[in-house]
Structure 1
Amino acid sequence: MANKSRVNFVVTDLDDTIWDWLKMWYSSFEPYLKRISLEYGIDIEELTDDFKKVHQRYRTSESSFIYKDLETLSKENKATFELAKAGGKSILHEYYSLKKNNLELYTNVLETLQKIKQEGAMVIGFTESNAFFTKYRIKHLQLDGLFDCIYAPIDMEVPETVYRHYSEESWEPKKTEFRYLAKNTRKPAPEILEIIIRDFKASKENTIYIGDKLDKDISMAKDAGITCVYAKYGHKIESEQYELLKKVTHWTKEDVEREIEFKASHQTMPIADYTLEKSFKELEGYFTFYQFPQTKFIEPSYDNIIQVWAKTIDVQQHFNDIALRIRNITLTVFTFLIGAIGFTTKDHLYITISDNAVSYTALIAALGIIIIAAFFYMDRYWYHNLLVGAVNQGLEIEKKWGNIFPEMRLTNSIGNSSPHTFVLWKIHSKHKFLIFYGILAGSMFLIFCLTI
């Protein structure tokens, strides 16, 4: 083809553009759904609705493994869920195996990406899928290094009851950098494309964006002023697979309303600048790829990274100190209240309210409950939330740079050492202040009940 456009910066969607996500999802979830229904005698429509609730709770259709949140499963069902059957796999093991064995690149994707990289162009991924799943696929499909960088939403939080057999570090790419987006990032998001362009100082004239959804990927690229390429081979909305996905989608009512508003403002589907009918390889017929001015990231200033991390640790310590001061003040107030209660009890002091004699002791205990509740609110919902934010930021820095600076794992180390087990209860930091304030408030409540 004559007059091919020159491109040195490629941004591409991943699911159903680079690999066949829908096939992988359907080939694992559909047997999973049917086996649960068959083995436990649960109506498949009820089970489908139950999975939809779980997917919406965790904001991804890949949270099906959190089976303990399924309301249709009894305690007895959940107790046998991970037990292997005679001559076969457990329900959960089979689900994971099918998911792994049905994850495949589309035809010619690997070869085409290799050629693009050989020419020196930069390749960036932009996905809605959580970073954990995306890292797994990058490693499993041997794409580590073919992507210079991937922008993906930060991982979802899973219940403590979920056991991951492999740590996140085991799937951490060695060459591909990950940059994290907000958890609820959804396409179209032209502002993120603008950020990607700005991050790498790329030229829009020499950039293309590739995706399989006209209403999301292509419209987003057009709104950002970037040449758009429609991966038509990955668009399979008229299929049995897609129909099941719609039944259990993680999209909430708000997501659907946003989609309706978007379609109302875009009366007609956008037309892509180029279309890949059958294969990713068709890119070679449209574009000439050439050297990006900077094929590697600017070497970061390690001094600055350490300073940012150290400042984050300082912020954690700051909010932790505030929390400890609040608790110390609470203890001081509690001690004062106990003293006042002892004094009023000793002297049998009462106040008459509507011809009823009420002891000062009961009133002081009631006031103590209110004061302790106020301190609890300030601690838990004010400064503790800020501490959690600082801790999460520290974890992100350590996740990104911990392989380069092994000593930079303080936040992670403290988090692992913090919990302790009492009898059969594993107590985390979020439980500790509940116990602390519960003992104080409970003591006041007991005194109130005894003296009222």
Structure 2
Amino acid sequence: MSRKTIDTLIIDLDNTIFDWFAVWYASFIPIYNDILRVTGRPASEIEADIRAVHQVRRTSEYTFLLEEIEALKDIRQTEDIRVRFHDAFEVSRRGRDLNLKLYPSVFRCLWDIKRKGTKIVAYTESMGFYSAYRLKRFGLDGVIDVLFSPEDHDTPAGVSVDKMRRLPDEFYELQVTQVRHTPPGELKPNPRILLDIIKAVGAKAERCAYVGDSLFKDVAMARDVGVFDIHAKYGESQRRPEYNLLQRVSHWTEADVQREREITAKGHTFEPSAVLKDSFAEIFIYCDFGAFDENRKNIDPDELKNTIEIWKKTVDVQQHFNDLEMRIRNFAVTIVGVLVASVGFTYQNGLEATLFGVRYAAGLGLIVAASIVWIGFFLMDRYWYHVLLKGAVKHAGKIEAQLQGRLPSITLGQTISDESASVRICGIKMNSDTRLRNFYILGLVMLAVVFGSLFFATSNRPSLPVTQVAPVPAQSVAPTGGSEVH
């Protein structure tokens, strides 16, 4: 088969990079045997009680099992359960630490992959605290970029975690590796979880590889989402005789247990894309690892479609604001043009106005009014609609940058911005802001010229001749109502 180019490696932890079953069995069996000894009850009853607690807490690794198991209820009322099981705890802890180690070649291989710039993601069903503690112990804090795991279970009432821990909190917490949690109750082989992980880290499914030990949980899930599946066959533990105990006390549902038994007994109907038979190092036979592009953002098909629709709407908004700006400038030119034309009428008819005892041509007032209108249109154009237009252009640019890796042809906004910024007038480069400002400055200069010309202008109209009016001769008017005197 051809080698796959991989920039994101997603790995299961349990039984893939270390023998989780050996760790679990070594730490569980001393506690389990001591419960049987102390209670004297049948194994089937104890296992049922243990499983009930594990299912409530959604994990088969429950630190506070003794504080909650029903079989020890009477003993907890009379004495400290931790003191009673002290020896079993010590054996359990030593067995855990003895088996808590990476498989051969895992540490070296992960570092080699890390140095190539590949993003390494861990996905496990073990609780966050246990997984983080193990990565710290393995020296993988920072080698693993992101850890996805379920949230930790609650602490029983009255139990102090601080008193149980032997080391400072920093020893148990990851300092470099990011920790994220999967949704409560969601377990493998749910393909939606894996798709969400791929999306969360910004990876592309076709450039991911997933390594896991379970054909049922890991390989089948990876195949469902189109990720290159790699079976860590060396980590299979299902065929060990002790594995039956885990199935009887685990948090898995009966349907999960039965389905896994059937797959183990009958085999599977598909072949993994790659199989690591003896060690993790065999992964280099199938994969070429390359650097992950941190600036790349993966988009699923539905999101891609919605993003394109948003981009189209943003372009429509750009066109809308651009149209509004052109209308504003047309209105400004029209209104100012009418006012300037009116100046000619006032000048032709010799209309004047008096202000503070000084006589001015009436057209000067129209020029002042035209200047105020022109400046008003500039303020509305530049600091209202032009700002909105630039915002729409900027938003379109963000969308185009997001789509650059998927749809390189969607660059309209960026192309328009580049062309607009490169416009030269009289050899001087002017962007849209400069061109808009200069347009209104030229209009204002024109009004200033008209104002100055009118202010200093003198009328050349000829004076009207003065007409001489002859005096009207006086007439004698006979008095009325009297007698004439001779």
Q: TM-score normalized by structure 1?
A: 0.59
1:82 aligns with 2:82: yes
| 1:46 to 1:228, Cα distance in 2 relative to 1, 3 A | same
Partner SS, residue 210 of structure 1:
strand
1:27 aligns with 2:23: no
* Paired position in structure 2 for 1:63: 62
Q: Is the 8 A contact 1:214 1:270 kept in 2?
A: no
1:241-298 C-alpha deviation (Å, 9 max, x unpaired): 21110111112346568x58x98xx99443210000011111122222121122999x
Q: Is the 8 A contact 2:202 2:296 kept in 1?
A: no
1:10 aligns with 2:14: no
- More off after superposition, 122-131 vs 35-44: 35-44
What's the % identity of the aligned pairs? 32
* Paired position in structure 2 for 1:135: 132
List runs of 5+ in structure 1 lacking aligned partners: 298-452
Distance of 2:201 and 2:73 partners within structure 1:
52
Q: Is the 8 A contact 1:190 1:223 kept in 2?
A: yes
Q: Is the 8 A contact 2:39 2:71 kept in 1?
A: no
Distance of 1:269 and 1:237 partners within structure 2:
18
Partner SS, residue 72 of structure 2:
coil
Q: Is the 8 A contact 2:26 2:92 kept in 1?
A: no
Matches within 5 A, 1:66-145: 66-76=65-75, 79-83=79-83, 89-145=86-142
Partner SS, residue 72 of structure 1:
helix
Partner SS, residue 141 of structure 2:
coil
Distance of 2:171 and 2:198 partners within structure 1:
30
1:372-427 C-alpha deviation (Å, 9 max, x unpaired): xxxxxxxxxxxxxxxxxxxxxxxxxxxxxxxxxxxxxxxxxxxxxxxxxxxxxxxx
1:227 aligns with 2:228: yes
- More off after superposition, 194-203 vs 120-129: 194-203
Distance of 1:31 and 1:276 partners within structure 2:
33
* Paired position in structure 2 for 1:289: 289
* Paired position in structure 1 for 2:280: 280
Q: Is the 8 A contact 2:23 2:96 kept in 1?
A: yes
Which amino acid in the other structure matches residue 37 of structure 2?
Answer: L
| Deviation of 1:226 (Å) | 0.7
* Paired position in structure 1 for 2:202: 201
Partner SS, residue 24 of structure 2:
helix
| Deviation of 1:169 (Å) | 5.4
| 1:296 to 1:14, Cα distance in 2 relative to 1, 3 A | farther
| 1:197 to 1:211, Cα distance in 2 relative to 1, 3 A | same
Q: Is the 8 A contact 2:126 2:150 kept in 1?
A: yes
Which amino acid in the other structure matches residue 290 of structure 2?
Answer: Y
Q: Is the 8 A contact 2:11 2:212 kept in 1?
A: yes
Find the structure with the greater CA-based Rg.
Answer: 2
Distance of 2:267 and 2:17 partners within structure 1:
29
Q: How many corresponding residue pairs?
A: 289
1:153 aligns with 2:150: yes
Q: Is the 8 A contact 1:19 1:106 kept in 2?
A: yes
Matches within 5 A, 1:300-311: none
* Paired position in structure 1 for 2:247: 246
Distance of 2:290 and 2:228 partners within structure 1:
16
| 1:43 to 1:148, Cα distance in 2 relative to 1, 3 A | same
- More off after superposition, 275-284 vs 156-165: 156-165
| Deviation of 1:240 (Å) | 2.0
Which amino acid in the other structure matches residue 188 of structure 1?
Answer: P
Q: Is the 8 A contact 1:123 1:147 kept in 2?
A: yes
1:82-135 C-alpha deviation (Å, 9 max, x unpaired): 2278xxx53334323322332121111111101101111110011111111111
Which amino acid in the other structure matches residue 11 of structure 1?
Answer: I
Partner SS, residue 159 of structure 1:
coil
Cα-Cα RMSD: 2.8
Q: Is the 8 A contact 1:65 1:92 kept in 2?
A: no
1:208-231 C-alpha deviation (Å, 9 max, x unpaired): 111111111111111101110000
Q: TM-score normalized by structure 2?
A: 0.55
1:313-352 C-alpha deviation (Å, 9 max, x unpaired): xxxxxxxxxxxxxxxxxxxxxxxxxxxxxxxxxxxxxxxx
Q: Is the 8 A contact 1:128 1:185 kept in 2?
A: no
Which amino acid in the other structure matches residue 83 of structure 2?
Answer: L
Distance of 1:37 and 1:150 partners within structure 2:
36
Distance of 1:268 and 1:93 partners within structure 2:
41
Partner SS, residue 242 of structure 2:
helix
| Deviation of 1:182 (Å) | 1.6
Matches within 5 A, 1:180-191: 180-191=181-192
List runs of 5+ in structure 2 lacking aligned partners: 298-486
Partner SS, residue 162 of structure 1:
coil
Partner SS, residue 211 of structure 2:
strand
Structure 1 stretches of 4+ with a deviation exceeding 6 A read: none
| 1:295 to 1:142, Cα distance in 2 relative to 1, 3 A | farther
Matches within 5 A, 1:316-355: none
- More off after superposition, 187-196 vs 34-43: 34-43
* Paired position in structure 2 for 1:50: 49
